[in-house]
Copies of this chain bind each other. A is one copy, B any other.
Amino acid sequence: MRNMCLLLSYDGTDFHGWQFQPNLRTAEGTLKDALARILGERPKLYAAARTDQGVHAKTQVVNFATERGIPVEGLIRGLNSLLPADIRVLRGGEVPSEFHARYSAKSKTYRYFILTSPLNSPFLRRYTLHVPQGLHVEGMERAIQAIVGVHDFSAFTKKSTSYRNPVRRVLSAKVKGRGEIIVMEIRAEGFLRYMVRNIVGTLLLVGKGKIDEEGFKAILESRDRDMAGPTAPPHGLFLWDIEYEPSLLFPPYRLGV
């Protein structure tokens, strides 16, 4: 069996998330349909992350096992000719048998984009959350530092979800203002469900002056979802990057087209 890896990019607007669901347009289902037409089989796909409905992926990584000996370049070309324009296969290659898109990932990076202009933009509306007021970016930048390191993120998970282990290690967290656009970036070894969107929703309270840096930290430490702000909507969120041990992906297993 060959273990094949693909790097994808998709616009989440018109997908019901990554994960396959019968009779719904999902990114996984769409990719599987295209793979099935080329390979003549429907391989089980392992993805680095399951993006929720409406969340975008600048980078998503999947792997699957196949007996088919189709050359990688032809596979990628064929997939892109079959796939709709809102999902593209950027790169691909054979990877070592032990590679697993999710379990081999050392870290994942998400970015969340906010547009603070008085009016929403017809051109950015699919990819940014519109917050029609100035936000206190420096306060948000200071507050977000509280999440760096190893923490119990129960305060920022999906309300009805219970995790055996709600502790995750966040490697870096940034808030940057670029004119009317604010970008938040969180890199972590792992994430709880809705974690980024709940952190963003709570940081927005800081940006609007409703809570301060200490208040944000207290919410994290409370481990109580009811203390945190609302879940930010999905359309500002991008699965941005996924990091692996170079030895798993690079020469002799270099991805590339």
Q: Which residues of A line the B interface, CB within 8 A? A: 9-11, 56, 58, 80, 85-90, 118-123, 125, 127, 257
Q: How far is the CA of A28 from the CA of B125 in the complex (A)?
A: 21
Inside 8 A of A9's CB, which chain B residues have their CB? 121-123
Given contacts A9-B123, A11-B122, 17 further A-B contacts (CB under 8 A): A10-B122, A11-B123, A56-B122, A56-B123, A58-B123, A80-B119, A85-B120, A85-B122, A85-B125, A86-B122, A86-B125, A87-B122, A88-B119, A88-B122, A89-B119, A118-B257, A123-B127
Chain A interface main SS type: loop
Q: How far is the CA of A88 from the CA of B122 in the complex (A)?
A: 7
Quote the shortest CB–CB distance from A109 to chain B (angstroms): 17
The 4 A-B residue pairs whose C-beta atoms are closest, nearest first, are A11-B122, A86-B122, A85-B125, A88-B119
Inside 8 A of A120's CB, which chain B residues have their CB? 85, 88
Q: How far is the CA of A87 from the CA of B123 in the complex (A)?
A: 9
Most buried by B among A9, A58, A120, A123: A123
Q: Could you list 12 A-B pairs, sorted by A, with CB under 8 Å?
A: A9-B123, A56-B122, A56-B123, A58-B123, A80-B119, A85-B122, A85-B125, A86-B122, A86-B125, A87-B122, A88-B121, A118-B257
Q: How far is the CA of A123 from the CA of B59 in the complex (A)?
A: 12
Closest chain B residue to A56, Cβ basis: B123
Inside 8 A of A80's CB, which chain B residues have their CB? 119
Quote the shortest CB–CB distance from A103 to chain B (angstroms): 26
Quote the shortest CB–CB distance from A245 to chain B (angstroms): 26
Closest chain B residue to A83, Cβ basis: B122
Most buried by B among A85, A90, A122: A122
Inside 8 A of A58's CB, which chain B residues have their CB? 123
Inside 8 A of A85's CB, which chain B residues have their CB? 120, 122, 125
Inside 8 A of A10's CB, which chain B residues have their CB? 122
Inside 8 A of A257's CB, which chain B residues have their CB? 118
Inside 8 A of A56's CB, which chain B residues have their CB? 122-123
Most buried by B among A80, A85, A127: A85
Closest chain B residue to A123, Cβ basis: B11
Q: How far is the CA of A11 from the CA of B125 in the complex (A)?
A: 10
Inside 8 A of A125's CB, which chain B residues have their CB? 85-86
Quote the shortest CB–CB distance from A238 to chain B (angstroms): 9
